[in-house]
Structure 1
Amino acid sequence: MDAVILRDFGPAENLELAQAPDPVPGPGQVLVDAVAHGVHLVDTRLRAGEAGPLPLPRLPAIPGREVAGTVSAVGPGVAPSWIGTAVVAHVGPRPDGGGYARKVAVDEERLHRVPAGPDGATMEPADAIAMIGTGRMAVYTLDIASISAADVVVVTAAAGGLGTLFVQEALRAGARVLALAGGESKLGALRAVTAGTDRIALVDYSAEGWEETARAALSSLDATDGATLVLDGVGGSLGTAATRLLGGRGVLVVHGWASGGPNAFATNAAGAGTGAPEVEVRYAVGPDAPPMSDQRPYQERALAKAASGEWRVLTHRVPFAEAARAHRELEERRTTGKVVLV
């Protein structure tokens, strides 16, 4: 079968399209003929040889943990009725998950049937992929954030896989939203997703003087006292600056640090007595985050939101053979929505 194989840690070019043996489903497993494969930022870290939330895989390895496709075979103890079913699954936390392959053995308990979308047709595999990992994390983070109609919400990386969902859910809750994204193309994608509402302002954080522009945008949202909630998955100087848009006090929800560095407010390094807001920090990642003992309910809720049309799913699709390109574009922040190999 075709597979993307990592033989040495390093740059994206180390991802090689090659042949690998077809996996055989074991007891309690099915074989999925995959047509969509999720790409996550942690995949790029592991490829580079950086251990983090997951240990480094033993090489050679097939990266990836999110797949969608059709069940083609079942292992011992699995009902044959699964064969021919369109499914999506997160294969689990193993670092060499085997997701960047045309055939993937998946535990039956991790399968979700791909639901029908708002038009009655089966949801596209790439959209289902976006919900099984990124959508699941969005639901979990939004539970922690607990957005209300009284909130003024700042979203960093608002055109990303998580950010686009946060923006949509905050608007659904009746909140006002300041969406931060880098570049006109990303702002354009956000406009398409949020058309029809005047409760959102878009700011290009790659433009000079963006913080002043952001404060003016808050005023245009009748939020002259500042924001009440920041959803930050970038960290570093951008996340810290975004958090300074809070009013005298507010809530910061940390769901990542894509910049490689922490949000200073999350490390108590923002500086008391400097005019900085008083911040309540809540974590969706890391040891201080509430436990997610069972991912399945969050995955089901995310799939249901996409299937019902509550969430419009944005995906950045790259041909399967160009996994290296997908990694580069994700690392260089040139993607909009969830990155998927198709």
Structure 2
Amino acid sequence: MHAVRLHTFGPAENLTYEEVEDPRPGPGQVRVRVRAAGVHLLDTALREGVQGGPAPVPTELPTIPGREVAGVVESLGEGVAGLWLGKRVVAHLGFVPGGYAELAVTEVERLHEIPENLDFAGAVAMIGTGRTAMGILQFADLGPDAVVIVPAAAGGIGTLLVQYAKRTGATVIGLAGGPEKVARVRDNGADLAVDYTDRAWPDKVRAHLGGRAATLVLDGVGGDIARESIALLGPGGRHLVFGWSAEGIKDGKGHFVDGVSENVLGPVMLARAGGPDPLRTLELRALTEAASGRLTPAVQRFPLAEAAAAHRALENRGTTGKVVLEP
């Protein structure tokens, strides 16, 4: 098979497209013919060998990055029911690498069958980005009286947050960088789409709201955008933090204000989701929302062989929606 491998930690150019041996499923595993593989900002930090992040850095090189795949089950390991053969499936591989490839192996219990009306790329978006969005929304008090600011509203998570908030009747302000992304946010249903590279953007939000204050900021960006968004909150307003891409995943820190900000990532998100497998609970919610048509993920596709270009675009904030590699 062909796969993208990393032999040395470093820049995107260190990702190489190669021919490697096909993986074999072990007991309780399946092999998937990959039709779409998800790319996450975390992948860029792992590629550089950054320690101390939310996921462990691979200890052995070379490695095949990637933790989200969708495709068709083509081979079964010992003990796996034959009904899985030929199924369209999606899976989050956890902290096991192997997604950037034509074939991937994973445990059968990680599989979800893809709904008929969802394509492979959309399924990959929902299994990773979608489950995070569902986790964030557990903490959001949304409804017709809510005024929500969504920084990075053209991104994979932001796109879903805008859609969900609008469905509850909330007033939604979507922030994005550049005219093309702003247009996408507007087309996605935001009441106001604003270019945050325009230093006057907070004044445009105030003018649009006409004296109303924001009640909620759903923030995965951090930095100055977070500070200016928080300033638009009224008394009792909330700032939910789930990332800080503006400051870099390697050494950035979210912007927090006592009594206003709340980090909703990690254990607190899983505790709220509940159940014996909280991550799977969130995955099922995300796939159900997409299958029903209530949420429509946005994706930006790259050929598998161009994984390095996908990483560069993601690091330079030059992408919209979920970044997906297609063999």
Q: If the length of structure 2 is used for normalisation, what is the TM-score?
A: 0.93
1:108 is aligned to 2:103: no
Say if 2:270 and 2:279, in contact at 8 Å, map to a contact too: no
> Residue deviations 1:26-49, cap 9 Å, x none?
111000000100000100111122
Shift of 1:328: 0.6
For 2:98 and 2:141, how far apart are their aligned partners in 1? 35
Partner residue in 1 for 2:135: 140
Shift of 1:312: 1.7
1:285 is aligned to 2:276: no
Say if 2:217 and 2:229, in contact at 8 Å, map to a contact too: yes
Shift of 1:125: 0.2
Partner residue in 2 for 1:240: 227
Q: Describe the SS at the equivalent of 1:148.
A: coil
Q: Superposition pairs for residues 1-342 of structure 1, below 5 Å?
A: 1-51=1-51, 52-57=53-58, 58-94=60-96, 97-117=97-117, 123-194=118-189, 200-219=191-210, 224-259=211-246, 260=248, 261-266=252-257, 268=258, 279-286=259-266, 289=269, 291=271, 293-342=277-326
For 2:67 and 2:243, how far apart are their aligned partners in 1? 19
Structure 1: where are the runs of 5+ without partners?
Answer: 118-122, 269-278
For 1:116 and 1:289, how far apart are their aligned partners in 2? 29
For 2:75 and 2:270, how far apart are their aligned partners in 1? 37
Q: Which amino acid aligns with 1:248?
A: P
For 1:287 and 1:70, how far apart are their aligned partners in 2? 32
Shift of 1:285: 1.5
Q: Which amino acid aligns with 1:234?
A: V
Say if 1:37 and 1:67, in contact at 8 Å, map to a contact too: yes
Q: Structure 1 residues 297, 288: closer, same or farther in 2, change over 3 A?
A: closer
Q: Describe the SS at the equivalent of 2:149.
A: strand
Shift of 1:282: 2.4
Q: Which amino acid aligns with 1:201?
A: L
Q: Which amino acid aligns with 1:238?
A: I
For 2:18 and 2:103, how far apart are their aligned partners in 1? 13
Say if 1:34 and 1:102, in contact at 8 Å, map to a contact too: yes
For 1:28 and 1:71, how far apart are their aligned partners in 2? 13
Q: Which amino acid aligns with 1:285?
A: L
Moved over 6 A (4+): none
Say if 1:193 and 1:312, in contact at 8 Å, map to a contact too: no
* Higher mean C-alpha displacement, 153-162 vs 302-311: 302-311
For 1:262 and 1:236, how far apart are their aligned partners in 2? 8
* Higher mean C-alpha displacement, 143-152 vs 84-93: 143-152
Say if 2:256 and 2:262, in contact at 8 Å, map to a contact too: no
Q: Structure 1 residues 287, 308: closer, same or farther in 2, change over 3 A?
A: closer
Shift of 1:297: 1.5
Say if 1:243 and 1:265, in contact at 8 Å, map to a contact too: no
Q: Describe the SS at the equivalent of 1:137.
A: helix
Q: Which amino acid aligns with 2:92?
A: H
Q: Describe the SS at the equivalent of 1:98.
A: coil
Q: Describe the SS at the equivalent of 2:32.
A: strand
Structure 2: where are the runs of 5+ without partners?
Answer: none
Q: Structure 1 residues 47, 246: closer, same or farther in 2, change over 3 A?
A: same
For 1:86 and 1:226, how far apart are their aligned partners in 2? 46
Q: Which amino acid aligns with 2:222?
A: G
Q: Describe the SS at the equivalent of 1:264.
A: coil
Identity over the aligned pairs, expressed in percent? 50
Say if 2:4 and 2:101, in contact at 8 Å, map to a contact too: yes
Q: Which amino acid aligns with 1:56?
A: V
Q: Describe the SS at the equivalent of 2:245.
A: coil
Q: Which amino acid aligns with 2:54?
A: P
Question: How many residues matched?
Answer: 316
Cα RMSD after superposing both structures: 1.5
Shift of 1:256: 0.8
For 2:183 and 2:75, how far apart are their aligned partners in 1? 43
For 1:162 and 1:134, how far apart are their aligned partners in 2? 6
Shift of 1:288: 5.6
